[in-house]
Amino acid sequence: MTRTVQRRLVNGVPMPGWPMRIFKGLVLLVFCAAVIVPFVGVISTSVAPNKQINESGGLVLFPDSVNFNAYKSLFAGGVVTQALFVSVFVTVVGTLLSLTVSCLLAYALARPGFSAGRPILLVVLFSMLFSPGIIPTYLVVKGAGLLDSIWALIVPTMVSAFNVIVLRAFFMNLPNEITESARIDGAGELKTFAYIVMPLSKAVLSVIGLFYAVAYWNAFFSALLYLNDSKLWPLQLVLRTYVINDTQLGSAELGTELLPPQASIQMAILVISIVPILLVYPFLQRHFAKGVLTGAVKG
């Protein structure tokens, strides 16, 4: 009993004993390994030599040597190249449109004294309470003539109410004097928005932009639901067909005679769809906690 009290305190909490610390370290290590090992396996297999893949019967954790044959055949202009173009288009164009539309709406909602602000804010907030259902949404998309159009992947999900609320909270926190002085200097709403508010909001814009981009890049269900034409398929749908459902990718689909083992092709497709997220991840990680919390507190 006395020993517990005499133990070193860190922020008021007694330091745990060694067995406890080792136990916690092990638990954490297992969790982290469970996350990392699959990624390592997938990346390694996509560059491992054929012989090693065949011997292991599938996934390779430590490749003996490195080759990029799988990537060469995927980028030769077949279905995967095509899908990559679709995914990049949807992600880039979608994110730009989403950001523009969301910022304009959030800015209007953040202006004090905007006469229609209150009802529009309620429309935005209330839409978060329910989800509209698969069939009725499908009918609206169909009615808008978006079926089998690449825009079906962008337009229905262009505005996220949550992101609008986060942006609005950020704009409201900007000092009022800045916009007021712009007004006195004769700037209208558009000028204030474009030249004063936007440059001050680079941090939040990049976070929200990345949220949108990740959502567009990962979108699978909208493509499954709205697109029959396989020429319009984004990477996620190609991934399902050729990796999860294990449909063979032949030279007809790949557009090349170079045919590495299916396992390494499949893993290379996975890597292509993972890498863009890994690239933005360090940045995402630096900012997203703040973004999530702003929304939670102000929303």
Partner 1 sequence: MLQRSKTRTQQLSLGRRLLRDRVLLLFALPGTALIVAFHYLPLLGNVIAFKDYQPFLGIGGSDWVGWENFAVIFNGDPAFLRALKNTLILTSLQSVFVFPAPILLALLLNSLFSERIKRIAQSILYLPHFMSWVIVVALFQQMLGGSGLLNNYLRSHDLATLDIIGNSELFHVLLTSQIIWKDTGWATILFLAALSQIDSQLYEATSVDGASRMKQLWHVTLPGLRGIIILLFILRLGDSLTVGFEQIILQQAAVGRDISEVLDTYVYNNGVIAGAWGVAAAVGLVKGIVGVILVLAANKVAHIFGEQGVYSR
Query: Looking at 139, 178, 203, 258, which residue binds partner 1 (CB under 8 A)?
Result: 139
Provide the token pair at 229: 């034409």
Cα–Cα distance measured from residue 234 to residue 249, given in angstroms and rounded to the nearest whole number: 16
Q: Which is nearer to partner 1, 149 or 257 (CB)?
A: 149
Q: Residue 46 CB: number of other CB atoms within 10 A?
A: 28
Alpha helices in 7-68 (DSSP H): 18-47, 50-56
Stretch that binds partner 1, among 5-13, 65-73, 175-183, 249-257 (CB under 8 A): 5-13
Query: Looking at 22, 24, 66, 231, which residue binds partner 1 (CB under 8 A)?
Result: 24
Quick check: 159 binds partner 1 (CB under 8 A)? yes
Quick check: 184 binds partner 1 (CB under 8 A)? no
Stretch that binds partner 1, among 64-72, 170-178, 188-196, 250-258 (CB under 8 A): 188-196
Q: Residue 194 CB: number of other CB atoms within 10 A?
A: 11
- Which of 111, 94, 95 lies closest to 190 in space, CA to CA? 111
Q: What share of the chain is helix, strand, coil (3-state, %, to 5)?
A: 75, 0, 25
Give min distance, CB of 257 to partner 1, in A: 26
Quick check: 279 binds partner 1 (CB under 8 A)? no
Stretch that binds partner 1, among 71-79, 114-122, 173-181, 253-261 (CB under 8 A): 114-122
Quick check: 161 binds partner 1 (CB under 8 A)? yes
Name which of residues 50 to 89 contact partner 1 (CB under 8 A): 56-59, 61
Query: Looking at 32, 178, 258, 279, which residue binds partner 1 (CB under 8 A)?
Result: 32
Do 45 and 263 touch, CB atoms closer than 8 A? yes
Cα–Cα distance measured from residue 36 to residue 28, given in angstroms and rounded to the nearest whole number: 12
Indicate the DSSP class of residue 9.
E
Stretch that binds partner 1, among 33-41, 64-72, 176-184, 247-255 (CB under 8 A): 33-41
Query: Looking at 105, 208, 227, 249, which residue binds partner 1 (CB under 8 A)?
Result: 105
What's the burial of 277, exposed, middle or buried (CB within 10 Å: 0-12/13-18/19+)? middle
Quick check: 26 binds partner 1 (CB under 8 A)? no
Query: Looking at 158, 174, 187, 200, which residue binds partner 1 (CB under 8 A)?
Result: 158
